[in-house]
Chains A and B, each alone.
Chain A
Amino acid sequence: MGEALGLLGFGPDGWGDELAAGAWLTIRLALATLPFGLAVGFLAALARNSPRRWLRTPGNAFTTIFRGLPELLTLLLVYFGGQTLFTRIAGLFGGAQIEVSAFVAGLVALGLVFSAYASEVFLGALRGISRGQHEAGYALGLRPFTVLRLVVLPQLIRLALPGLANLWLVLLKDTSLVSVIALNDLVRETSVAVHATKEPFLFYLVACLIYLAMSIVSSVGIMRIERWSERGVRRS
């Protein structure tokens, strides 16, 4: 037991600092993905909710594809595909081989998956806001964008929050896949530690517990945000 604590300790002999660095990258990646995923997801939901077919069809296709593909496959497609694409574009201008940063590839891939699911949540929330709310906004002489910003969005957040909170927990776990494209997240740092110490069970168990702690802390935060979003709504 004492030996295990030594291995997990901080400093030159322990792997605590490596694990912490990995966990920190996991958190940074998830936090960086969130705004991107939310923005794309919201736009996709608006497209799918549009009366115009040329907006609806690509919106639906986008959602079907990124909800149907394994996250791992999306990640590799973005990582290797991005590399090929940018190298070709650079080739047109006489450039050389281009490396896509694993962090950016991870962010884009996880963001695409997140936004596909988020568009579903936003769409449900959009439909939960009655038509009269839009009409009242127009009747007050507000422009469409202003109606969206001042009338729809504040109500949308409350309706979409539980669904989005779930997606955040899923995102946190999905970040573990970036270890495959050699990004030093929690899983990869753990694998390095396992390689050096030959203590796989101990280290992967600790990694699992760190993820669990992140999930639990997130859940507490989510509960607070939900309570905040329901201010102004009468409790029954």
Chain B
Amino acid sequence: MNIELLERYGPRMLEGLLVTIELVVISVVLGALLALPIALARMSRSPILRGASLAYVTFFRGTPLLAQLFLFYYGSGQFRHFFESIGLWWFFRDAFLCCLFTFTLNTAAYQAEILRGAMTSVPRGQREAAMALGIRGPAVLFRVILPQALIVALRPLGNEVILMIKGSAVASIVTVFDIMGVADLAFARSFDLSVYLWAAVLYLVLVETLSRVWNVLERKLTAHLAVAGTRA
């Protein structure tokens, strides 16, 4: 363990940890907000909505996150005049914001498919029962279908968050100083491989913490489903 190296880059590494957490939390939350309308569009009766949402989901799930990031980060430069004229250039010029933008669109596609799968797993009778009780419109979705669907979606959503934590490392390639970015910087200056091992430990701790939290969450949320005596 190189103490001098740790003194110099340790604090920056922790700042990088915060940047990684910020990237993941913001994009996963914004992605979730986008995912619901996309999932509903996927199940819609309108062929236009269905086609458009299918194209969106296929594109973002079928291409590498790195290629998407380059497409938006470098690609937006080509439309600089346009973005300047609508006053959005500051957004696409900023590597961090561009990463947020790309990650949000990407995770929205994955989350939409998870949600869609979960919503289809809710038996038809639930919707019919709700309608028979005189519940209408959005209340059927938000009070009856979604609460049951989210329990099914919980585990895959947790996996998606873990994939985002790992995937967010590509932000370092467009000069964002997340955990990976700081490790790259420290390695380029010191040629000491141990900086990558610190980064590895940080990522493992992050992923392991999340999966524990998720297990607790799952146990709490499904407590009412446990058959008496099967769970301590």
Contacts and interface: CB of A to CB of B under 8 A. Distances in A.
A44 interface: no
Chain B interface category by residue count:
35 or more
Contacts of B79: 201
Main secondary structure of the interface of A (DSSP, over half): helix
A174 interface: yes
Main secondary structure of the interface of B (DSSP, over half): helix
A72 B171 CA distance: 10
Contacts of A67: 207
Contacts of A174: 64
A117 B49 CA distance: 34
A70 B169 contact: yes
A205 B172 CA distance: 21
Interface in A179-212: 179-180, 187, 190-191, 194, 198-202, 204-205, 207-208, 211-212
Given A177-B170, A179-B66, A73 B196 contact: yes
A8 B79 CA distance: 20
B101 to A, nearest CB: 15
A173 interface: yes
Q: Which of A174, A176, A211, A216 has the most CB of B within 10 A?
A: A176
Contact of A212 (B62, B70, B200): B62
Interface of A: 64-65, 67-73, 76-77, 80-81, 84, 169, 173-177, 179-180, 187, 190-191, 194, 198-202, 204-205, 207-208, 211-212, 215-216
Given A67-B207, A77-B200, A204-B71, 13 more contacts: A65-B200, A69-B204, A73-B169, A76-B196, A80-B196, A174-B64, A176-B64, A177-B66, A199-B78, A200-B71, A201-B79, A212-B59, A216-B62
11 contacts: A67-B207, A77-B196, A80-B187, A173-B65, A176-B66, A191-B70, A200-B70, A204-B70, A207-B70, A208-B68, A212-B59
